[in-house]
Amino acid sequence: QVIKCKAAVLWEANKPFSIEEVEVAPPKEHEVRVKIVATGICRSDDHVTTGALVMPFPIILGHEAAGVVESVGQGVTAVKPGDKVIPLFVPQCGECQNCLNTKGNLCSKTDLGTSGGLMADGTTRFTCKGKAIHHFLGTSTFTEYTVLHESAVAKIDSAAPLEKVCLIGCGFSTGYGAALQTAKVEPGSTCAVFGLGGVGLSVIIGCKVAGASRIIAVDINSDKFAKAKELGATDCINPKDFNKPIHEVLTEMTGGGVDYSFEVIGRTDTMTAALACCQYNYGVSVIVGVPPAAQKITFDPMLLFTGRSWKGSVFGGWKSKDVVPKLVADYMKKKFVLDPLITHTLPFTKINEGFDLLRTGK
């Protein structure tokens, strides 16, 4: 059966979301229809509204969520109606080169970087006012019901609070994994984290769990420092307080640079600063923030020649389907907290107010 429900449709760039009645088609073979219970707002969604991340319009955004399976298509074995699930914007098909390699996690079935906005068969499951609406990253969670490929859903503990663990669908896992899985931060090491949004704070949680002795939080908004300290930052610095480049400040503070640095903003100037602030011979710098479209980085290759490593990390380097249920289990065992990452809880119809809060750093 087709389901009629509410969704936040983005008809064009630089316009507010429009709450519309949409029609959600039933799941086809190997697809799952999910009732979304809670969804987070992520800067990557906002990048589409500004055009920094290029996607086709009209589109239903959203990729950080949790919900309950409503129905399944033919051939689906992993989940059944009533199961609690987290949608995966990085799926895990288990068959492509990246899924088969122990080092890889960026499944080739992801829509990231292709901007197709359609399901695997080249069609969409959403219709509004007679128009086809595009999917986003194979998830589209800004709607009461969505359709996902079965490789893009992870079944989780039925006791998990969906309004908290939805963060494991993107922000938390991305930051936490950047520290633990991509950088592999060791006990006693020093770390610098550029950007203290939800993902940056999750990097701090990961560094702390890994046993880092010093975690330096960097942001131009000092209002974010209290929460960073609550979650494990040992120092907080605002680049606006110094009249020299921030990488020089960090190098001096640490007597030669940090062991690990993380750029969690998505700006090219902070990416090069994060690279420059890590130790010149064995420092590792990880790009976690989504880079803006059509921008290039220029840097002195000597920064890398001396031995530094520069890495990227998508979804924290985790193999999504394998790890998301484990992260939910770890949350249930209180291995980490999620509550401090939730600043506001709004009804779905106030989604534009939510984005205003994001854009003003709140």
Task: In whole angstroms, give the CA distance from residue 181 to residue 99.
Answer: 16
Q: Is 207 an annotated catalytic residue?
A: no
Q: Is 170 an annotated catalytic residue?
A: yes
| Catalytic residue (one of 42, 99, 191, 236) | 42
On whether the CB atoms of residues 275 and 305 are closer than 8 A, the answer is: no
Structure tokens at 256: 């030669």
| Catalytic residue (one of 63, 134, 149, 247) | 63
For residue 69, the surrounding DSSP H or E stretch is strand 65-72
Q: Is 107 an annotated catalytic residue?
A: no
Task: In whole angstroms, give the CA distance from residue 266 to residue 250.
Answer: 20
Tell which residue, 178, 152, 149, 145, has the closest CA to residue 86. Answer: 152
| Catalytic residue (one of 47, 135, 149, 247) | 47
What strands lie across the sheet with 153-155, from one edge to the other?
Answer: 145-149, 31-39, 65-72, 84-87, 153-155
Q: Is 285 an annotated catalytic residue?
A: no
DSSP secondary structure string, 273-333? HHHHHB-TTT-EEEE-SPPPTT------THHHHTT-EEEE-SGGG--HHHHHHHHHHHHHT
| Catalytic residue (one of 107, 170, 207, 236) | 170
Which of the residues are catalytic? Answer: 42, 44, 47, 63, 170
